[in-house]
């Protein structure tokens, strides 16, 4: 089982092999280079990541992958990502999924939030900014950060 975000970029969906406690992020953007860059960066930070380059692919992947958070471009291949945001936030099975809308075009914030988005990020942005947004949305304030040994040392 897998999907293709373009004719040259296909990969399996990791939904059946992921740890149950890992945070899952779905990235939806029609810029394949950006998808691959963001996917790599987020995986390096310990997230399970899937990506889609169209809204139809995103709906399919989301139904299997069950993301905790969706990073969703507003304009995906000429379609309005806010419509997918609305579906995610109003479906009983996904209403608790966090959605961050992204765009390189200026949109009034109040109109974006009408679709149920939890956050909005204007493009371009530094990768560290995305990481901060993810942590603020997915990590409880009272959570104690876990220290991971580096190079086998404690």
C-alpha dihedral sign at 32, 97, 138, 16: negative
**CATH code for the domain defined by 30-138:** 3.40.50.2300
* 77 vs 107: CA distance, rounded Å: 18
Per-residue model confidence as pLDDT tens digits over 60-74: 999 999 999 999 999
Per-residue pLDDT reduced to its tens digit, 46-58: 999 999 999 999 9
What predicted TM-score, i.e. pTM, was given to this entire model?
0.79
Which residues of the chain register pLDDT less than 50?
1-2, 5-9, 13-16, 145-154
Phi, psi of 120 (to 5 degrees): -135, 135
Could you state, in order of their start, the residue ranges of all structural domains in the chain? Answer: 30-138
pLDDT of residue 142: 56
């Amino acid at each position: 089982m897998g999907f293709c975000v373009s004719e040259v970029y296909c990969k399996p969906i990791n939904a059946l092999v992921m740890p149950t406690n890992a945070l899952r992020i779905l990235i939806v953007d029609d810029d394949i280079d950006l998808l691959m860059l963001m996917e790599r960066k987020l995986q390096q930070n310990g997230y399970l990541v899937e990506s889609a380059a169209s809204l139809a692919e995103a709906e399919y992947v989301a139904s299997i992958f069950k993301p905790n958070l969706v990073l969703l471009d507003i304009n995906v291949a000429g379609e309005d990502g806010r419509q997918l945001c609305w579906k995610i936030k109003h479906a009983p099975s996904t209403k608790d999924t966090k959605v961050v809308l992204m765009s390189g075009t200026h949109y009034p914030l109040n109109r974006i939030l009408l679709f149920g988005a939890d956050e909005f990020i204007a493009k371009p942005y530094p990768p560290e900014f995305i990481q901060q947004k993810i942590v603020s949305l997915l990590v409880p304030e009272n959570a104690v950060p876990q220290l991971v040994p580096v190079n086998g040392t404690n």
